[in-house]
A and B are shown apart, each in its own frame.
Chain A
Amino acid sequence: MPQPESPVPSHPPRVLIVDDEPNIIISIEFLLRQAGYTTQVAHSGEDALRILQQEPPDLVVLDIMLPGMDGFEVCQWIREHSEWNHVKIMMLTAKGRDAEISKGFALGADAYITKPFSTRHFVEEVHRLLTPPAEDRI
């Protein structure tokens, strides 16, 4: 597993995992921590919003099929608030139809990965999202 560069050296980027499957959460948490990120877990959309309001993460890994408010709604909610403009969103879901993928991007997702996913691909995408564009770098 390649060690990702830390984009902001002062503190590691924080990733919010929103999913309701405990075993999937375990695997994602493991992957992200191994890559050097701080993780937080929300079991539902409502949970996720509460955490967002308290302490906005750098990335939200978002499932769609959630009890209560679903992933699309969470995504839309985040994008409707300009103060969370910097928050990246990655949809990570079993829903893999073209229409669902288009909908995810249309609602402002930055990446869309279908389950079951390749762990490598997942980590690369997270890394890509959390690395600022070249011209912004010092």
Chain B
Amino acid sequence: MNLGLISFVALIYIGALFAIAYYGDREAERGRSLINTPYIYALSLTVYCTAWTFYGSVGRAATSGVDFLPIYLGPTIMAALWWFVLRKIIRISKIQHITSIADFIASRYGKSALLGGLVTAMAVLGVIPYISLQLKAVSYSFTLLWHYPNLALPDLDAIPILRDTGFYVALIMAAFAILFGTRHLDATEHHEGLVLAMAFESIVKLLTFLSVGVFVTFTLFRGTGDLFARAAMQPDLRRLFAFDQTPLAYQNWFWLILLSMFATLLLPRQFQMAVVENVNERHIETATWLFPFYLFVINLFVVPIALAGRLLVAGDVSPDMYVLLLPLERSANWLALLAFVGGISAATGMIIVETVALSTMLTNDLMMPLLLHANAFSASRDLSSFMLNLRRGAILLVVFLGYLFFRLTGKTFSMVSIGLISFAAVVQFAPALLGGIYWKGGTRRGALLGLLSGFLVWAYTLPLPLLAQTAGLGDAFIEAGPWGVSWLRPYALFGLTGYEPITHALFWSLLVNASLYLIGSLWSGESALEHRQAALFVDIFRHVGGSEQVQIWRGEASPLDLQTLMQRFLGRSRAEQLLSEYARTRGVTDWRALETDADMIEEVERQLAGVVGAASARVAVASIVTEEPLDITKVIHMLDETSQVVAYSRQLEQKSRELEAATAELREANRRLQELDRLKDEFISTVTHELRTPLTSIRALTEILYYNPDLPAAQRQQFLDIITKEIARLSRLINDVLDFAKLESKAYDWNLKPVNLKMLISDAFDATRQLFLERNITVRMELPDDAPDALTDNDLLMQVILNLLSNAAKFTTDQVTVRLRQEGDFLRVDVIDNGPGVDPAYRETIFEKFSQVPPPDGIRRQGTGLGLPISRAIITQLGGRIWVEGKPGQGATFSFTLPISPFKPSQETSHATT
């Protein structure tokens, strides 16, 4: 065919593509978005279908039948999950200003520049061959069209670069990508023209492929029935209709479906179109059915074309080219040209989008972090134009690398193998990415380990053997393994044989990748930033917007510093504009009046992230914001508005807790008062009872005497005696109660002076002598002369000793001993009787007022029930201790101690001391 004609048609198509892109961008500048429809979005996603689909599917169908299908079944399944997975990724990316998949993963794991660089490197290494494949397809189809009917493919080495169509295609693609892919500095802004052109491109490749399909099926044959019937007559073609009968065929299918599922999400160009260029989340709904439907339609004629090619095309020709050859065979040159345009369309679409995506990653996630780290820029320099030029340079670099790879290896590899190898490379992102949006536990170290190990296994099991073959030392390496170590054979690692190389590589790389990601994550901690990002990514739907983030990063920087920084990357006017907009949201008219806080730094970082990626933005901001090490007080001060609200509510909670505590205290005080009140009631009730008892005898006996004037004199005397005693008891009781009440209320007036205890005890004994004489009790006094005086209250102490003596007189059998001695700073007095003693169970109870302790021998003695309680109250307040000892049946020993001097009244009584 005429070279001029072919070139002309190709240039017409590419010209149209430029025009459409230009139109789209111009309309966008006028404020009218042409891509804001779900259909354009869904069609732009079909950049998934490349020249590999256009030519390669037929090639694969012609050699291995339905095996081409998994590559399209996978995306169909994935599309069903988009609403859950893709929507989440889009939401995260919008809020975080994500520019690429490398940026996404880096951002998730604490904005790690290292991780971003690694993902970028993997993507570039994995995808460059894929780009070269597109160039190869264009170059070969062009040559075929030109040289037909000469089917021999030209020797690349013989063609100088300047005469190679692939080279020109590469240049044009680079130009397109630069023109429409780097119009804005902010990589998160939509490339409207680019997207519109891709949607157009998707329709062109679909229509041209369908045209060839219809032509082949209905012109060369009488419909599909005829075609299949004729193919069925050839045994080797009949085999293509059915599934492979090898035992592992299903596993191969499974892995291929899985591979293409992830590829739909993870290929840089798919991420670019589906996430970065997405205008509206709801567009996913349409894409969920339209995208699989497109895949279904474009694959309708793959098998017919493949079969027809096998039936009609003679000679040793790559089946990849059947789409062109069949029309050529029947001299339908216009159709061949159309098919050629379709092929170009598929290839260029892929090259352009992939290049834009890769160049963004290269500049933002690889070059900028390195340059920033190396402090390569003088502080004053405006970097906005530098950034743009850097990205343009990256585009040229990517396209050039693609072309270089094609020149070096173009002869060797089939399209399908290279396509799958690229897929397998990007699928390594799956654990880190999916884990990152569903599992907060995933850490930077885990992601690094997983990615790196997966990539190494991929490199060892897929590209390495291919390269080895190219270098001519492949067979030994593949068959026997390196250095003859058989379990290291790259296609049969650890003895896993029987799988296709791609399945084998996928199995091992994903297994190692996912395992190390898990283990690494579980065994490593996360930084505060990582933790925050993890929470933000995983819980994205709980966050309304980015402003909800609780900032835990604080440093010193003036608004002017931030403005200078933004100006360097965004240009003066854009920086001014963004800062002013931000100031307005904070209710400030001039951004210079803003106070730099965590929220503002976050905003600047977010804006920069849109230009240079999250990792670079963080490095850039960190360069001017001196970050201070976190300590707990800082963390508290680091509250942004949200957390101030939290703090305020904490204060409220604190107040409410204090109130609760106060309430509890009041309740407790009230309870104690009630308890005291109850005790007082009880005391009064007991006192009343104790008063009634002597009164009862007095009244009864008085009445008896009154009504019986003629009682015998002796009986009369007995009754009068009782009455007298009971009246004495009554007055004693009243005195005791009053004393006790005084002691209890601490209202007693202490009269402190030196008291000689020997004398005091002797006086007390004299006062009670009658009691002992009545019962014939022997009293022994052991009172040393040298016992020192005690500074104490004479009368109160006398009351205690009287009490103990009269108790002893009441309970003893026939003997009482009183002993005085000095014990250190204390004097000790023991009153020992040989009466019934005190049951150990009641040794404390008897010191309680009106205690109802059964008499040890069943005999009730006269008493007020207040003697011992009063004694204890006195001794305690004089600073001593009183207690009782002795075994039941062997007498009781009542003892007390008393401090000699200086007398220190217990704290509660000090104010009452005179």
Which residues from B are CB-within-8-Å of A34? 708
A-B pair number, CB within 8 angstroms: 75
The reply to whether A116 and B700 contact each other, CB–CB distance below 8 Å, is yes
B707 touches A119 (CB 8 A): yes
8 A Cβ contacts from B196-250 to A: none
Chain A, interface size category, equals 20 to 34
- Does B766 sit at the interface, judged by CB under 8 A? no
Q: Tell me whether B860 and A67 are in contact (CB under 8 A).
A: yes
Task: Give bound CA distance, A117 to B52, whole Å.
Answer: 121
Q: Is the CB of A43 within 8 A of B858?
A: yes
Q: Could you give 28 example pairs across A and B, Cβ below 8 Å?
A: A20-B860, A21-B693, A21-B696, A22-B860, A23-B694, A23-B701, A23-B726, A24-B696, A24-B697, A27-B700, A28-B700, A31-B700, A43-B858, A44-B854, A44-B858, A65-B689, A67-B854, A67-B858, A94-B688, A94-B689, A94-B693, A95-B689, A116-B696, A116-B699, A117-B696, A117-B699, A118-B703, A119-B703
Closest-by-CB residue of A relative to B854 is A67
B456 within 8 A of A: no
B62 within 8 A of A: no
Q: What residue in chain A is nearest B701 (Cβ atoms)? A: A27
Residue in A1, A22, A23, A118 whose beta carbon sits within 8 Å of that of B708 in the complex: A1
Min CB distance A7 to B, Å, is: 23
Residues of chain B lying within 8 A (CB to CB) of residue A119: 699-700, 703-704, 707
Given contacts A43-B860, A119-B703, A119-B704, contact A23 B852 (CB under 8 A): no
Distance to closest chain B CB from A89 (angstroms)? 19
B791 interfacial by beta-carbon distance below 8 Å: no
Q: Which chain A residue has the least Cβ–Cβ distance from B860? A: A20
B470 to chain A, nearest CB (A): 110
Residue on B nearest A119 in the bound complex, by CB: B703
A-B pairs, 7 with minimum CB distance: A27-B700, A67-B854, A94-B692, A23-B697, A115-B696, A116-B699, A116-B696
Residues on B with C-beta less than 8 A from A1 are: 707-708
B700 → A minimal CB distance (Å): 4
Let me know if A27 and B704 touch, CB within 8 A.
yes
A4-46 contacts to B (CB < 8 Å): 20-24, 26-28, 30-31, 34, 43-44
Tell me if B393 is interfacial: C-beta within 8 Å of chain A.
no
Report whether A115 and B858 are in contact in the complex, using a CB–CB cutoff of 8 Å.
Answer: no
A31 to B698, CA, bound (A): 14
> At the interface, yes or no: B760 with Cβ under 8 Å from chain A?
no
Chain B's nearest CB lies how many Å from the CB of A134?
28
| B699 / chain A contacts, CB cutoff of 8 Å | 116-119
A118 and B704 alpha carbons, distance in the complex (Å):
10
Number of interface residues of B (CB under 8 A): 27
Looking at the assembled complex, report how far the CB atom of B400 sits from the nearest CB atom of chain A, in whole angstroms.
Answer: 107
Q: Does A68 touch B at the CB level, under 8 Å?
A: yes
Known: A20-B860, A119-B703. 16 other contacts (CB 8 A): A1-B708, A21-B693, A21-B860, A23-B697, A27-B700, A30-B704, A65-B852, A67-B852, A67-B853, A94-B688, A115-B695, A116-B695, A118-B699, A118-B703, A119-B699, A119-B704
* Contact assessment for A115 and B693 in the assembled complex, using a CB-CB cutoff below 8 Å: yes
- Assuming the contacts A24-B693, A43-B858, asked whether A116 and B688 have C-beta atoms less than 8 A apart, the reply is no
Q: Known contacts A1-B707, A1-B708; decide if A117 and B693 are in contact (CB<8 Å).
A: no
User: Footprint of B on A, CB under 8 Å?
Assistant: 1, 20-24, 26-28, 30-31, 34, 43-44, 65, 67-68, 94-95, 115-120
CB-nearest residue of chain B to A92? B696
Interface-central residue, B699, B700, B707, B708, by most chain A CB under 10 Å: B700
Does residue B722 face the partner (Cβ distance < 8 Å to A)? yes
Interface of B (DSSP majority class)? helix
In the assembled complex, the CB of B866 is this many whole angstroms from the nearest CB of chain A, namely 16
Return chain A residues, CB-CB under 8 Å to B698: 116
In B680-733, the 8 Å CB interface with A consists of 688-689, 692-701, 703-704, 707-708, 718-719, 722, 725-726
Q: Which residues of A contact B693 (CB under 8 A)?
A: 21, 24, 94, 115
Interface positions of B from 551 to 609, Cβ below 8 Å from A: none
B855 interfacial by beta-carbon distance below 8 Å: yes
- Contact present for A117 and B700 (CB under 8 Å): yes
- The smallest C-beta distance from B627 to any residue of chain A, in angstroms, reads 77
Distance from A42 Cβ to chain B, minimum over Cβ atoms (Å): 11
Binding site for A on B (CB under 8 A): 688-689, 692-701, 703-704, 707-708, 718-719, 722, 725-726, 852-855, 858, 860
Residue of B nearest to A122 (CB): B700
Which residues from chain B contact A67 at a C-beta distance below 8 Å? 852-855, 858, 860
B336 → A minimal CB distance (Å): 117
Tell me the bound Cα distance from A110 to B138 in angstroms: 124
Q: In the complex, what distance in Å separates the CA atom of A94 from the CA atom of B685?
A: 10
With both beta carbons as reference points, the residue of chain A lying nearest to B694 in the complex is identified as: A23
Residues of A within 8 Å of B707, CB to CB, are 1, 119-120
List the A side residues contacting B852 at CB < 8 Å.
65, 67
Distance in angstroms from A21 CB to nearest chain B CB is: 6
Residues of B within 8 Å of A115, CB to CB, are 692-693, 695-696
**CB of A119, distance to nearest CB on chain B (Å):** 4
- Quick one: closest B residue to A114, CB to CB? B692
B residues within 8 A CB of A118? 699, 703
> Which chain B residue lies CB-closest to A67?
B854
Select which of A26, A43, A116 is within 8 A of B722 by beta carbon.
A26
- Docked Cα-Cα span, A111 to B694, in Å, equals 22
C-alpha gap A26/B726 in the complex (Å): 13
Within the assembled complex, what's the spacing in Å between the Cα atoms of A31 and B722? 16
* A21 B697 Cβ-Cβ under 8 A: yes
Docked complex Cα distance between A119 and B699 (Å): 8
For A34, A116, A118, the residue with the greatest tally of chain B CB atoms inside 10 Å of its CB is A116
What is the bound-complex CA distance between A116 and B703, given in angstroms? 11
In the complex, the chain A residue whose C-beta lies closest to that of B718 is: A26
- Counting chain B CB atoms within 10 Å of each CB, the highest count among A117, A118, A119 belongs to A119
- Return chain B residues, CB-CB under 8 Å to A28: 700
Q: How far is the CA of A1 from the CA of B854 in the complex (A)?
A: 37
Interface centre among A23, A24, A31, A43 (most CB of B within 10 A): A23
> Cα distance A65–B691 when bound, in Å?
13
In the complex, residue of chain A having the shortest beta-carbon distance to the beta carbon of B729: A23
A27 vs B707: C-alpha distance when bound (angstroms):
13
Tell me the smallest distance from the CB of A96 to a CB of chain B, in Å. 8
Bound Cα distance from A116 to B696, whole angstroms: 4
- In whole angstroms, what is the CA distance A23 to B695 when docked? 11
Q: How far is the CA of A22 from the CA of B692 in the complex (A)?
A: 14
Measured in the bound complex, the distance between the Cα atoms of B718 and A96 in whole Å is 29
Closest to A1 in B: B707
Give A115 to B725 CA distance when docked, in angstroms.
Answer: 18
Smallest CB separation, A122 vs chain B (Å): 8
B432 CB to closest chain A CB, in angstroms?
80
Residue of A nearest to B726 (CB): A23
Contact A23–B854 (Cβ < 8 Å)? no
Min C-beta distance of A67 to chain B, whole Å:
4
Q: Which residues of B contact A23 (CB under 8 A)?
A: 694, 697, 701, 722, 725-726
Expressed in whole angstroms, the Cα–Cα distance for A110 and B784 within the complex equals 62
